Amino acid sequence: MEKYKVLLVSPGLSTKKQAGSLKGIANVLPTLGIGYIASILEREGFDVSILDCIGKPMELDVILSKCRNVKANLIGVTATVLTINTAYEIGRNLKEVFPQVPLVIGGAQFCADPKETLEKNIFDMGIIGEGEETFLEIATALRSGCFSPENIRGIAYKRDGKLVQNEPRPYILDLDAIPFPARHLYPPLSAYKPVPASYIRKPVGLMITSRGCPYQCIFCDRAVFGNKFRAHSPKYVVDEIELLINKFGAKEIRFMDDTFTMNTERVYAICNEIFKRKIKVPWTCNTRVDRVTLNLLKTMKRAGCWQVIYGLESGDDNMLCAMKKGVTVGDNERAVSLARKTGLNVRATFVFGMPGETLSSIRKTVDFAKKAKLDVVNFFTVMLYPGNELYKIAKQKGKVLHSNYEQYTSMIDVEETDLHYIPEGMTEKQLKNAIVDAHRSYYFRLPFLIREILNIRSIDDISRYWSAFNALVSLRKKR
What is this structure's pTM? 0.92
- How far apart are alpha carbons 57 and 366 in whole angstroms? 35
Q: What angle do helix axes 329-342 and 359-372 make, rounded to 10 degrees?
A: 20
Q: How far is CA 52 from CA 28, 55, 187, in A?
A: 11, 9, 8
The DSSP call for residue 107 is S
Are the beta carbons of 258 and 221 closer than 8 angstroms?
Answer: no
Tell me whether strands 230-231 and 210-211 are parallel, antiparallel or unpaired. Answer: antiparallel
Q: How far is CA 317 from CA 362, 391, 464, in A?
A: 12, 22, 34
User: What's the longest Cα–Cα distance across the chain?
Assistant: 69
Q: Which residues pair with 211 in a beta bridge?
A: 230
Question: Please, how many CA atoms are within 13 Å of residue 268, restricted to the half-sphere of its CB?
Answer: 9
Q: Any residues with CB less than 8 A from the CB of 438 and at least 6 apart, and which?
A: 350, 352, 362, 365, 366, 369, 379
Q: What is the pLDDT of residue 462?
A: 67
User: Mind listing the pLDDT tens digit for each residue in 195-226?
Assistant: 878 888 999 999 999 999 999 898 887 777 88
User: Mind listing the pLDDT tens digit for each residue in 353-390?
Assistant: 999 999 999 999 999 999 998 999 989 888 888 878 88
The DSSP call for residue 227 is S
SS3 content of the chain, % helix, strand, coil (to 5): 45, 15, 40
Tell me whether strands 74-78 and 103-106 are parallel, antiparallel or unpaired. Answer: parallel
Tell me whether strands 155-159 and 125-127 are parallel, antiparallel or unpaired. Answer: antiparallel
Tell me whether strands 345-352 and 210-211 are parallel, antiparallel or unpaired. Answer: unpaired
Q: Look at residues 419, 395, 422 and name the one whose alpha carbon lies nearest to residue 407.
A: 419
Amino acid at 360: S
User: Mind listing the pLDDT tens digit for each residue in 30-47?
Assistant: 899 999 999 999 999 999
Q: Is 2 helix (H, G, I), strand (E, B) or coil?
A: coil
- How far apart are alpha carbons 205 and 252 in whole angstroms? 6
Question: Please, how many CA atoms are within 13 Å of residue 198, restricted to the half-sphere of its CB?
Answer: 24
Q: Look at residues 197, 116, 143 and name the one whose alpha carbon lies nearest to residue 387.
A: 116
Q: What is the pLDDT of residue 406?
A: 75
- Extended strands (E) in 223-289: 230-231, 252-255, 283-287
Q: What is the pLDDT of residue 222?
A: 78
CA 19 vs. chain centroid, Å, equals 13
The separation between the first and the last C-alpha atoms of the chain, rounded to the nearest angstrom, is 65
Question: Please, how many CA atoms are within 13 Å of residue 218, restricted to the half-sphere of its CB?
Answer: 15
Residues of the chain under the 50 pLDDT cut: none
Q: Look at residues 159, 165, 157, 207 and name the one whose alpha carbon lies nearest to residue 29.
A: 207
Helix (H), strand (E) at residue 352: strand 345-352
- How far apart are alpha carbons 79 and 349 in whole angstroms? 24
- How far apart are alpha carbons 105 and 91 in whole angstroms? 9
Q: What is the pLDDT of residue 414?
A: 64
Q: How far is CA 21 from CA 27, 196, 420, in A?
A: 13, 15, 17
Q: How many residues does the chain have?
A: 479
For residue 312, count other CB atoms closer than 10 A to its CB.
Answer: 29
Q: What is the pLDDT of residue 281?
A: 97
Are the beta carbons of 252 and 204 closer than 8 angstroms?
Answer: yes
Domains of the chain: 5-165 (3.40.50.280), 194-473 (3.80.30.20)
- How far apart are alpha carbons 361 and 425 in whole angstroms? 12
- How far apart are alpha carbons 120 and 397 in whole angstroms? 26
